[in-house]
Amino acid sequence: MKYLKRISDEMLEKKLKIFGGVLITGAKFVGKSTSAKQFAQTVIEFQDPVKKEFYKFQVNNSPQTLLESENPILFDEWQDNYSIWDTIRHDIDKKGENGLYLLTGSVNINRDKVMHTGTGRIATLKMRPMSLYESGDSDGKVSLQKLFSGNHKIFAQCDLSLEKILYLIIRGGFPKTIDYSEEDAVLFMNDYYNSLINERIVTIDGVKRDPSKMNALLKSYSRNIATYASDVTIMEDMVNEGIEISSNTFSDYKNTLEKLFIIENITSWPTSIRSKTALRKSDKKLLVDTSLVCSSLRLTSTKILTDFNYFGFLFEALALRDLRIYIDSIDGNIFSYREEKGYEVDAILELNDGRWGAVEVKLGEEKVDEAAANLLELKNKINTDIKGKPAFLMVLYGGQNSYQRSDGVLVVSIANLKK
């Protein structure tokens, strides 16, 4: 199977040049191992059923022998053998070289199980499902990076349709499903979802959890996708579905899904506004991929079309997934913006050098004027003496044309965008 280059590959290559090792994290099946293998000379797969016990014995008794192969050495799903971390860190110190090791893990590192953090020695890189540009569903004629540099003279077209958007939402961005039909993608992702709520929630730490409660939590999250629903609202929604859950249990289940990189909310933008209007600090609710939303609710194209308002939230979740991937690759972050009185902007993209842009996400072209007006209003709210003027204002939508309006607002099709 032909390897589809990932946006994160460039950053992985850079980090290997300046660190002794790189830990690649992310949800199961986002492509961590496949990407790491493009750079590794030796591959040690801790979950290989034939060699699993042998590797475990080596790690516990003579871990140094696993470091004697040609570098870079990849330790795939390393969290199954935590003690290898300190052996690697020590070897990096001893050799004083860069690009020696790659590690992949589908669970957030448990710092209590390692003696040293690896700071300055082992860098971290988070991978996510494929963006539309990576999967070949965006032609990339509009570059986010260039928009930050002031290149706003854009014009591009594509053949994106409502049917294609539905397919992209349901199929999602997991590499395995990229060439699948909707029917095949649904079968794969439903199996992935069932494995998540029945097996992964236990194997992460050995704690027994109730699959029915985890399922209810994910379903409630999915019904409230791309909204600012509070945890209390999510819990009440679960109760309405017949699932009683305490606040402590809810927190544990939610934290577990965060450790597995399934829940990935967008936090509020830390900024200054001109008025005394308070900003809300609640997170925008998101899962790592829209396909998981669809699996939790068993959605199909036909079902989604019965609720166009919810279709809009699903499209926003798709757009925010891609924006997060793109902004992360150019040294930036994505935030939400919402005031106490209700005014909000779907996404703020901010580079680490301080430049920022605002994005409104709309499914159809009929909402572009409204979205543009909302973005222009934001310019008057932000204290530009502190934050500076926005590098751009963008309406990201599900249409076929990308262009700059006479008021300066950019209108960009999601099928034209890249990093």
Q: Is 202 left (phi over 0), alpha (psi -120 to 50) or beta?
A: alpha
- In a domain? residue 151: yes
Cβ atoms 402, 166 nearer than 8 A: no
User: Could you tell me if 164 and 194 lie in one domain?
Assistant: yes
Which string of DSSP letters, residue by residue, matches 79-128? GGGTTHHHHHHHHHHHH--SS-EEEEESS---GGG-SS--TTTEEEEE--
Q: Do 155 and 216 fall into the same domain?
A: yes
For residue 50, what are its two tokens? 């034939």
pLDDT bracket for residue 80 (50, 70, 90): confident
Same domain, 261 and 120: no
Contact 100, 92 (CB under 8 A): yes
- Which of 126, 150, 185 represents a domain boundary (last residue)? 126
| CA angle centred on 329, ends 120 and 15, rounded to 5° | 30
- C-alpha torsion sign, points 144, 147, 149, 154: positive
Phi, psi of 259 (to 5 degrees): -65, -30
User: With 80 as the cut, is the pLDDT of residue 65 above it?
Assistant: yes
Q: What is the pLDDT of residues 25-50, one digit of tens each?
A: 999 999 999 999 999 999 999 988 89
- Tell which of 81, 101, 126 closes a domain: 126
Contacting residues for 194 by C-beta, under 8 A, at least 6 apart: none
Is 134 part of a structural domain of the chain? Answer: no
- Would you give the DSSP letter of residue 197? I
Confidence tier at 178 by pLDDT (50, 70, 90): very high
CATH number of the domain bearing residue 107:
3.40.50.300
Query: pLDDT per residue over 277-291, tens digit each?
Result: 556 678 999 999 999
On whether residue 340 sits in a domain, the answer given is yes
Q: Is residue 135 part of a domain?
A: no
Task: Report the percent of the chain where pLDDT is more than 90.
Answer: 82
Instruction: Look at the chain and count its residues.
Output: 419
For the CA atoms of 36, 42, 46, 51, the dihedral, rounded to the nearest 10 degrees, stands at 150
- Output the pTM of the full model: 0.94
**33 and 164 share one domain:** no
pLDDT in tens, 184-233: 999 999 999 999 999 888 778 888 899 999 999 999 999 999 999 999 99
Last residue of a domain, which of 126, 157, 184? 126
| Pairing mode of beta strands 73-76, 142-143 | unpaired
In this structure, are residues 99 and 71 in contact, taking their beta carbons and an 8 Å threshold?
yes
- Amino acid occupying residue 407: D
Confidence of residue 87 (pLDDT cuts 50, 70, 90): very high
> Using one digit for the tens of pLDDT, what is the confidence trace for 338-362?
998 889 999 999 999 999 999 999 9
Same domain? For 234 and 375 the reply is yes
pLDDT band at 379 (very low <50, low <70, confident <90, very high): confident
173 shares its domain with 318: yes
**Does 137 fall in a domain?**
no
Query: What pLDDT was estimated at residue 281?
Result: 72
| β-sheet bridge partners, residue 404 | 410
Same-domain status, 29 and 165: no
Containing domain of residue 50, as a range? 8-126
Quick one: pLDDT at residue 108? 73
Tokens (6 digits) for 121:
């020695």
Tell me which residue of 167, 139, 158 sits closest to 417, measured CA to CA.
Answer: 139
Q: Does one domain contain both 151 and 55?
A: no
Same domain membership, residue 171 and residue 48: no
- Residue 96 within a domain: yes
Does residue 180 belong to any structural domain of this protein? yes
What tokens does 252 get? 């544990």
DSSP 354-400: S-EEEEEEESSGGGHHHHHHHHHHHHHHB-HHHH---SEEEEEESSS
Distance (Å) of CA 266 to CA 30, 229, 270, 369: 19, 12, 12, 25
- What is the SS3 assignment for 16? helix
* Any domain includes 278: yes
Phi, psi of 258 (to 5 degrees): -70, -40
62 and 161: one domain?
Answer: no
- The single residue listed with the structure tokens 């079309």 is 305
Residues 49 and 171 in one domain: no
Average pLDDT taken over every residue of the chain: 93
- The count of domains in the chain is 2
Which is nearest to 250 in space by CA: 210, 291, 204, 305? 210
Confidence (pLDDT) at 279: 64
Same domain, 327 and 367: yes
* 67 contacts 39 by C-beta, under 8 angstroms: no
Neighbours of 298 (CB within 10 A): 11
